[in-house]
Every structure is written in C-alpha cells, then in structure tokens.
Amino acid sequence: MLEEGTKPEYLYVDSVAACSLMIRREVIEKIGFMPEENFLYWDDTEWCYLCNQAGYKVASVGNSKALHAMGAKKEAVNTFPTYYAWRNWITFFLKFTPDEDLEQMADTFLSSVFQENYEGLYNGEKNRAKTVMLALDDAIHGVMGKAGENRIFELDFNLEGYRDLFHRSEKFYIEENGHAPLANRIRNVAEALGVRVIWLDAQEKDAVTISLCESIFEVEDMTLEKVYIDISDCIFATEDDMLNVINYNYSKRSFLFMMKPVFLENAKKLRKKWNL
C-alpha cells in the first residue's frame, strides 16, 4: 500500500505519450513504426495499443518528467488541433472496435459530433463545429495525412450572450456547483467587456442568479428564475433559449437517425479495405 501523496514506481497502462517514450527495437520490428498518416495525435495511442496486442506491456514510470509545449498555443487561435484530434480519434476506433460494438461506437461518436454542432450553432461559434464535421467526413472516408484545404478555421469567439446577460443587472450571484474555474472565467469576461458588475457573496432580491452546470441541455428547470451557464459557455437565460434546450434531445435523435447508416456503411467499407 502506497502512502498518501507518493507516486508508484510504475503502472501498466493502455498508452503513454510519445514525447516521453522509450521502446525496444524488437517491438518496432514486430509492430512497425507509429502511423505517420496521422500527421499528429493518436499515433502514440495506436502504437501502444499494438504493443499490448502483440503481448508487450506499456508502463508509465511514476518519477518520469517531460517538457512538451510545442503547439500548445494553437488551440486558442484556430481549429488546427481540433481537426487532427477528432479525425484520428474516430479513425482509431474505426480500426479497433469489435464488430459487435460498431453500432454503440457509432452512437457515441455521432452523439459527440451532434453536441459540438448544436453548441456551435447555439453560441454563434460555428468554425469549430465545421471542423469537427469535416474531420468526421474525412475519417469515415479514410482520408489521412496533412489536413486538406478548408479544414482549419480561425476560432470565432462570440461574447454577445454574455454581453446581453450583463446588461440585465449590475448585481450577480454565482452558484458554482463545483465549477470554480468557470465562475472565474465568467468574471473575467465581464471585466474584458468593460461592464460594471457587482459580484455578491449571497443571493439578493434584485440580483441575477447564475447557476453553473455541465450542460444547459440537461437542465430541467424551465422557470427562467435563474440563468444557467455550462462549461461550453452556453447560456440559458431567455424563452428563445428555452426552446433550444427543449428541442435538443429530439434534434439529437434526428441527427443520429440520419447519420448512423452513413457512418456504419463507410465504417464497414474501410474495415474491409483494412482487412479487419
């Protein structure tokens, strides 16, 4: 039993990051090199998966350290990492999901893709959603390598929802509900917009209550007595917002109904091409 706060010497794991990876030559000779067609992302995950499949073990050493800051700023600029993360993520599971789990895998991915699109449309931040759809399309058609044209877009931040919210009152009370980083971000947005806001430590009659949550589309409270904000910066504050929240699940079912046959048909074609 390890003492609290101590690190294990090592743990056997599914995968480790390639930026701090040591591997024996005999393993490479058996499973090959990392998949260069990924360009970046998920190549190390696939390699480690193949290591485990070949009977080797992947270990994470507790005291190991790695400095790896390359590309870290790009996520705040454009959808470059979004494209590769999604395309290669989907491709990995297209390759290695057992036949009997294909339908469940399709439901999982398409539900996530739908959420990205619905939130992007809701927030008026559409470029990330476009990239995710194009990554999905490339994945199910076996398009790999460096991203083609019209796949990477500038991030389109939209603060109009926050601007409208902060014009409702000068006094706000935040129910954090375990989302302290989101609460800090909301306060920073108010400061960036240059609006006068009084943050209260307790609720008052003439103050707007902001309740933080994982997803506004899971909120059941339709009274509009509180404003709900989720970790994706979706804001539920008006009757129009309420209609979008109410329609979320039906829209999701419609999306899955339309997209699932396309996803599965292309998945089976690819798996046949890959001799899986």
For 1-53, write each residue's pLDDT tens digit: 556 666 678 899 999 888 888 888 998 999 989 888 999 899 999 999 999 99
pLDDT for the residue 65? 80
Could you tell me if residue 219 is inside a domain? yes
Same domain, 230 and 116: no
Could you tell me if residue 225 is inside a domain? yes
pLDDT beneath 70: ranges in the chain = 1-7, 69-75
Could you tell me if residue 41 is inside a domain? yes
Q: What domain count does the chain have?
A: 3
Same domain, 182 and 218: yes
Same domain, 142 and 267: yes
DSSP assignments along 70-112, one per residue: TTGGGGGTBSHHHHHHHHHHHHHHHHHS-GGGHHHHHHHHHHH
What CA–CA distance (Å, rounded) separates 135 from 269? Answer: 18
Could you tell me if residue 140 is inside a domain? yes
What CA–CA distance (Å, rounded) separates 207 from 209? Answer: 6
- Name the residue range of residue 209's domain: 160-238
What CA–CA distance (Å, rounded) separates 85 from 91? Answer: 10
pLDDT for the residue 75? 60
Inter-helix orientation angle 80-96/102-123, to 10°: 160
Same domain, 232 and 167: yes
Same domain, 93 and 153: yes
Could you tell me if residue 195 is inside a domain? yes
Same domain, 102 and 217: no
Could you tell me if residue 54 is inside a domain? yes
Could you tell me if residue 15 is inside a domain? yes
Strands 198-200 and 10-13: unpaired
Same domain, 123 and 14: no
Same domain, 79 and 55: no
Same domain, 84 and 112: yes
Could you tell me if residue 69 is inside a domain? no
Q: 270: part of which helix (H) or strand (E)?
A: helix 239-273
Residue 40 backbone zone (phi > 0: left; psi -120 to 50: alpha; other: beta): beta
Same domain, 140 and 167: no
Cβ atoms 153, 132 nearer than 8 A: no
Same domain, 152 and 260: yes
Same domain, 89 and 103: yes
